[in-house]
Structure 1
Amino acid sequence: MVKIHSLLTTVVSVFCVEGFRGALADLHSQKPGHGHEHGHGSHAIPGYRLTDSIVGRDFFRAFDWEAIGDPTRGRVLYVNETESRSRNLTYAHGDSFVLRGDSETILTPDGPGRPSARIVSKKSYTTHVVVVDLRHMPQGCGTWPAIWQVGKEDWPNRGEVDILEGVNDQGPNASTLHTSTNCTMPAVRNQTGTSGQLDCDVAVNWNTGCGVKFSKPNSYGPDFNKNGGGWLAVERNNQFIKTWFWPRDSQDVPRDVRRFGPRVNPDNWGIPEAFFPNTECDLESHFKEHHIVINLTFCGDWAGQADVYRSSGCPSTCVDYVNNNPEAFKDAYFNFKSLRVYQ
């Protein structure tokens, strides 16, 4: 009986150890997924994991400065990082990162444009979520600020996603896609914003793109700034691209957005301002690896269009105004509290 009991004890012990090893192997094989398309069954942790937290001086580490000619033909002079910092056009203080245009120089008509900055993230992203906590954005006649995502080359074949963009203080914000051919959006979508053109092809209607105007008037310009800014977020995967906005004083800001959490789950964020599904556009083939771009230009192809500028109630012509009124651009600056990327 003792021998039998010992044998049974040994057998049970072996089964217990092997069972534990098997369970441990199963546990290691269960990797957290990203949203619905990356889940691994009922054990998947929903949402996306924080991979890049950019606050204050982190912007100097995470972004490159592009001292290039403006592709939109603006009245701007993009300067490199060294000059940008020496002119105080980009600086960090505590949890603030500021990017602004020059507000001191009167420009000569045949000289360079108003100094400003254009920065591009060193990292690129495909499936991801971006959350921007923005205290202040550039305002003023002639301004054209943007936060967007784009491939570094071969535009528009890698696609473009505009997160925040507008001109001459004319809100609300618009989120827009720009693509190559054969990418359109359905007229009816589950979003709170208002759809504009449905064809995303840059060759249609002078690169208008397929944009959605946000429902909240304080999503752009002076109204945005008076309210202390807010949060912008984008979720991108091969099934859809969504954009959200929550004003600073909103009671509806998701906890994982407001509290700077290690994970976010956009499934809990409610109806987005803009929804771009893949039903009439193969997002996987039209959108490749994207870098995040932040820039401030003046006038150019959109803000400087004579009819657009006049309809904004702005004085003189765009170029003359930008040349001769540096003091008008004291509020032409971004103030970022944070920029986070989740994958």
Structure 2
Amino acid sequence: MKFDKHFRVAATPLVLSLFLTPITGNPVGTKSYYKLVDDYSGPKFFDKFDFFDSDVVGRHGVGDPTQGWVRYLPRQKAQELGLATVTDNVAKLKVNDKDKYEFSSSLTETNFTFNYNHPAAKKSFRESVRIESKKIYNKALVIADFKHMPNSQCGVWPAFWLFGDPWPDMGEIDVIEGFFNADRNGVALHTGSECIAEYGVMTAKPESHNCWWKHNYNQGCLVKDNRTESYGTGFNANGGGHYVMEWTSDFIKVWFFPRGSAPADILSGTPNPDGWPTDPVVTYNTNKACSIDTLFKNLKIVINTTFCGAINTDGTRWATTGCLAETGLESCREFVARNPEAFKEAYWEVKGIKVFQRHSGTESPAVPENPVVSEEPSVPEVPAVPEKPVVDDEPQIVVPGELIQIPEVGCQR
């Protein structure tokens, strides 16, 4: 059809809508919101997780990919021993705090080349739990409500994190992590290839910028929260709180909301991070030197507590954190094996983990029927949290095999 140059179209609502409708086909003013896709809470909390079994030679070939002094138990055994329970809709993940294990001087960090199947070693590992979500995720908003995490104490290495198989090619996001008597939370990314972090709006102080696992012994691009209530003993004294991780093509962000400070939309199940008044602990922006879409794929959610591990392969951290002086023992492994009562507070209590993903539409998502809403309890009086030394970041982790030597670099989760 050929139009005269003076042809005009009447500006009716229908005609205007034809010109103004985006090429995506969504209505004008369409917004996206976060829709709940998975709810890890209630009596069936553990049904959505796989239990890492140290005695099964699987993808890693060793009892603990982080070379910890630990035996992770399968679900049935863990539940028989009371290490994985749900009471009043709160999931609890414990370590064995009752049994004293054998230990010989040949097993110390300085004398012993780590081999999980060494007969003497197998009698010395402390039992614990490591759970990994059956489902994998690509971009999500993860909101975790923790009532308790392992205390800041010598020997423990707890973490709440996400990783993909094969590691490190699919990436790793550490939301909660600390070593021994750390008093503040560490957040980090680890990547399978070169990645220089571009930090955005945040409240934490960056401690490193290179996320590549081969750089600086897999330190990752690490930041430390400046609040003692963000981790361990201080976290527990305050009644816990909410950790939030938002992962998009443009950025990865982490927030921490101490108990009683979570935005109302988190508690109602309709989260809108863009409207939160609190800056995130950290923002990692995608950039030419670090593409989020390229480096982070198919991630699982993980909660675990290990002991000692590759962060202390030569015993250095045991000394620098004051644990040698505190315990009177030169070996982290010996302390873990011989002192079950020291780990009474080495447990997680999880009120729920909810995973949301972006959904396009004009209305907010309905709150699920009979949702599990976290009540903000009053915090009982507790003794003041003692000052703890700040844990410096040191070489971490090794790539395991049947017989593992202490390498120059490396990490596997």
TM range (shorter): 0.7 to 0.9
Aligned equivalents of 1:195, 1:59: Cα separation in 2: 34
Aligned equivalents of 2:47, 2:185: Cα separation in 1: 28
Match of 1:36 in 2: none
From 310, 316, 322, give the equivalent of 1:313: 322
Contact 2:171 2:192 in 1 (8 A): yes
TM-aligned CA distance change 1:43 to 1:155, over 3 Å:
same
Match of 1:266 in 2: 273
TM-aligned CA distance change 1:225 to 1:303, over 3 Å:
farther
Contact 1:30 1:43 in 2 (8 A): no
Aligned equivalents of 2:29, 2:134: Cα separation in 1: 35
Aligned equivalents of 2:192, 2:132: Cα separation in 1: 22
From 137, 141, 151, give the equivalent of 1:129: 141
Contact 2:174 2:189 in 1 (8 A): yes
Match of 2:196 in 1: 184
TM-aligned CA distance change 1:41 to 1:172, over 3 Å:
farther
TM-aligned CA distance change 1:305 to 1:236, over 3 Å:
farther
Match of 1:144 in 2: 157
Note if 1:277 corresponds to 2:321.
Answer: no
For normalisation by structure 1, the TM-score amounts to 0.84
1:310 is displaced (CA, Å) by 2.1
Match of 2:69 in 1: 75
Contact 1:180 1:286 in 2 (8 A): yes
Q: List gaps (5 residues or longer) in structure 2.
A: 1-13, 55-62, 104-119, 358-413
Contact 1:245 1:273 in 2 (8 A): yes
Q: Deviations over 1:5-35 (max 9, x none)?
A: xxxxxxxxxxxxxx9xx9xxx9xx987xxxx
From 334, 337, 343, give the equivalent of 2:351: 337
Mapping for residues 49-68 of structure 1, pairs under 5 Å? 49-68=35-54
Match of 2:364 in 1: none
From 238, 243, 251, give the equivalent of 1:232: 243
Q: Deviations over 1:169-199 (max 9, x none)?
A: 302101100002221113x531101111100
1:59 is displaced (CA, Å) by 1.8
Partner of 2:29, secondary structure, is helix
Aligned equivalents of 1:173, 1:304: Cα separation in 2: 22
From 260, 281, 286, give the equivalent of 2:295: 286
1:304 is displaced (CA, Å) by 5.9
1:154 is displaced (CA, Å) by 1.7
Contact 1:304 1:319 in 2 (8 A): no
Q: List gaps (5 residues or longer) in structure 1.
A: 1-18, 32-39
Match of 1:43 in 2: 30
TM-aligned CA distance change 1:240 to 1:90, over 3 Å:
same
For normalisation by structure 2, the TM-score amounts to 0.70
Aligned equivalents of 1:107, 1:304: Cα separation in 2: 20
Number of aligned pairs?
A: 304
Match of 2:8 in 1: none
Aligned equivalents of 2:124, 2:252: Cα separation in 1: 38
Contact 1:101 1:296 in 2 (8 A): yes
Aligned equivalents of 1:276, 1:148: Cα separation in 2: 16
Partner of 2:159, secondary structure, is strand
TM-aligned CA distance change 1:94 to 1:42, over 3 Å:
same
1:313 is displaced (CA, Å) by 2.2
For 2:175, give the aligned amino acid.
I
Contact 1:299 1:305 in 2 (8 A): no
1:55 is displaced (CA, Å) by 1.3
Aligned equivalents of 2:348, 2:46: Cα separation in 1: 15
Match of 1:216 in 2: 227
Match of 1:102 in 2: 96
TM-aligned CA distance change 1:173 to 1:41, over 3 Å:
farther
1:41 is displaced (CA, Å) by 5.3
Partner of 1:264, secondary structure, is coil
Partner of 1:164, secondary structure, is strand
Contact 1:131 1:233 in 2 (8 A): yes
Q: Deviations over 1:125-182 (max 9, x none)?
A: 111100010000012210000010011x221110000010001130210110000222
For 1:339, give the aligned amino acid.
I
Contact 1:136 1:228 in 2 (8 A): yes
